[in-house]
Structure 1
Amino acid sequence: MDDHTLVPDAVPGPSPLVRRARPHDLPRIVELMREHTAYEKAAPPTADVADRLGPLLFGTAAPPRLHCVVAELAGGEVVGYATCAAEMSTWDAREYLHMDCLFLRDGSRGHGLGRQLLDAVVAVARELGLTEVQWQTPVWNEGAVRFYNRLGGGAKEKLRYTLPVPPIG
């Protein structure tokens, strides 16, 4: 699949496009990740995140462990991204695509780019033979909740927990 098949009408030109991330996008993706974590009132990515993220996105694994699509303005500025990875549902005994992040810079929202990013994530799911995309958003993020509801997403009430695994020794 080439970069421009994720969104059928995405072609280079005067309008924005959504395409697969390329290795040279990594520094910009990390900048956007920092904006994203600040927006969600979370801890910023660690200083070495690009070193760890690069191999997941652009390593030799086929398919890659992590997929990323970016929203690019006509001038070449990347203003948003979405990341996703295949995950397993025990209850359904099948894989689904987990969209971990979808973020657009302030000022880039409300112009259809979010829909294009989500459409590109759906295209990745289709490419991997997966029939469902799942994601989560903070309950306080009313704009995201409205956006996802408008697109036909359905919410499931759950709390998300994290448990650090301490090193042995």
Structure 2
Amino acid sequence: MNEREARDDRAVVRHARPEDMARVVELIAEHAAYEKASPPAPGLADRLTRLLFDPARPRLRCLVAALPDGTLAGYATCAPELSTWDGTEYLHMDCLYLTETSRGHGLGLLLMAAIRTEARALGLDEIQWQTPEWNENAIRFYDRLGATSKEKRRYTLGTGE
């Protein structure tokens, strides 16, 4: 987005700022609860601040949907990744979340448009993401965008002993 803002009558989608981190962490906690996952570990705001605002090389990007009163109603995070099979980079959208009362008002479309703009600004031709199989509303939303899905499972494995 590079300081260009996507707007509609209700909201502005913009890059997160350091002063947004407390609210972004609240939204992340809501997102985790929505997906029946563990809450974020303490210190998340500090870790995200380092990833987002490292002047040498930000590793993560965060876009927020701000309502006219300035309240942050949602966020999306993304980072460039590599595809071994294609030998290309793509933008991986790790999260997209809107508060329950903010869904169905076009904010998801604004966030996705901003993610697409972010990918183009980085010279990337594709965005990839995943959503839980049970999240039928998200699946319908992504299908309406024209996105295609692949059947895969996501695994995690700690590196400790």
TM-score by length of 2: 0.96
| In structure 2, distance between residues paired with 1:59 and 1:113 | 28
| SS at structure 2 position matched to 1:107 | helix
Calculate the aligned-residue CA RMSD, in Å. Answer: 1.3
- CA 1:135 to 1:6, structure 2 compared with 1: closer, same or farther past 3 Å? farther
CA distance in 2, matches of 1:159, 1:43: 19
Q: Which structure 2 residues correspond to residues 1-169 of structure 1 after superposition, within 5 A?
A: 2-3=2-3, 5-7=4-6, 10=7, 15-62=10-57, 64-166=58-160
TM-score where L is the length of structure 1: 0.91
Q: After TM superposition, where is structure 1 displaced by more than 4 Å over at least 4 residues in a row?
A: none
- 1:88–1:96 contact (8 Å) kept in structure 2: yes
Q: Which moved more, 1:100-109 or 1:48-57?
A: 48-57
Q: Percent identity?
A: 58
| Larger mean Cα displacement after TM superposition, 133-142 or 52-61 | 52-61
CA distance in 1, matches of 2:81, 2:52: 16
Asked if the contact 2:5/2:12 (under 8 Å) is kept, the reply is no
Aligned mates of 2:100, 2:115 — CA distance in 1: 21
CA contact (8 A) 2:82 2:89 kept: yes
Q: Does the 8 Å contact 1:80/1:103 carry over to 2?
A: yes
1:2 Cα offset (Å): 4.5
Would the alpha carbon gap of residues 68 and 156 (structure 1) be closer, same or farther in structure 2, given more than 3 Å must change? same
User: Aligned pairs, how many?
Assistant: 161
Moved more, 129-138 or 48-57: 48-57
Gaps of 5+ in 1: none
Mapped to 1, the partners of 2:55 and 2:38 lie a distance apart of: 30
Amino acid at match of 1:128: L
